[in-house]
Structure 1
Amino acid sequence: MNYKSERNDLSLNTIARYYGVPMAQIRSWNPWLKQDRLRKGEEVVIYKSREELTLHRTRRGDSLWLLAKKYRTSVSCLKTWNQLRTSLIHPGDRLIVGMR
C-alpha cells in the first residue's frame, strides 16, 4: 500500500510504529528516501504482511510491461516494489505484482 503524508515533517519512525514494521524495512522498501521525515504529499510504500502481497514467478516471454498490464498496475510500481533499477527480468524471478 502507499502511504501519503497529510502533514509536513512526519517521521518514518512514527509511520513504522503505526504499521508495526521496523523503520529499516520501510527504508528498504523506499530506497529513494533521503531523509527520515516526509513532507506533505510525499508517499512511501508499506507492506504490512507477506499475506497481503501478490507474487508472480516469471516465465520465458514475461516482461514488466506485460505483467503490469496483466495485474493492472504500472511498470513504475513493479520496479519500485521489487527494487529494480532496470526493466530486465529473468525466468524464475519472483516479483511482487500487487497487494490485496
Structure 2
Amino acid sequence: MNKCDATNIIIDGLLGEESIPVKLRTERFFDNEKYSKVKEAVLFLVDEYKDKSMVPKDLALCFVDISNHFYVSENVFSEDLICKIEDAGFELSELANKLFT
C-alpha cells in the first residue's frame, strides 16, 4: 500500500457514494469488510504522516464529524450491532487524532 492508495480507500470508505455512512443510512447495512480496509489504510497513514506537520485536505475532510455518521437508529439495528457501529465511529475518531497529531 502507498499513500495514494490508502487515501483513496479512506475517501471511498468514508465519503464516497458507496461509503460506510451512506450504506448505514440508505441500505441499513454496516460494511465490516470496508471498515476493516479503511482502518488498515488509516493505520498505514498514521505511520506515514507521523513526522509531518500537515496532511492533505481531502484526507482531513473524511474525518470531519466522523463519529456522528456512526450514530444509528435503535429502530433499525439490533442493540449489539448499534454498539459495534458506534464503537467503529469512536475508533475512527481516535485514529484521526493519531493521524493529525
Coarse TM-score class (shorter-chain normalised): under 0.3
More strand by share: 1
Q: Greater helix percent: which structure?
A: 2
The TM-score with structure 2 as length reference comes to 0.26
Larger Rg: 1
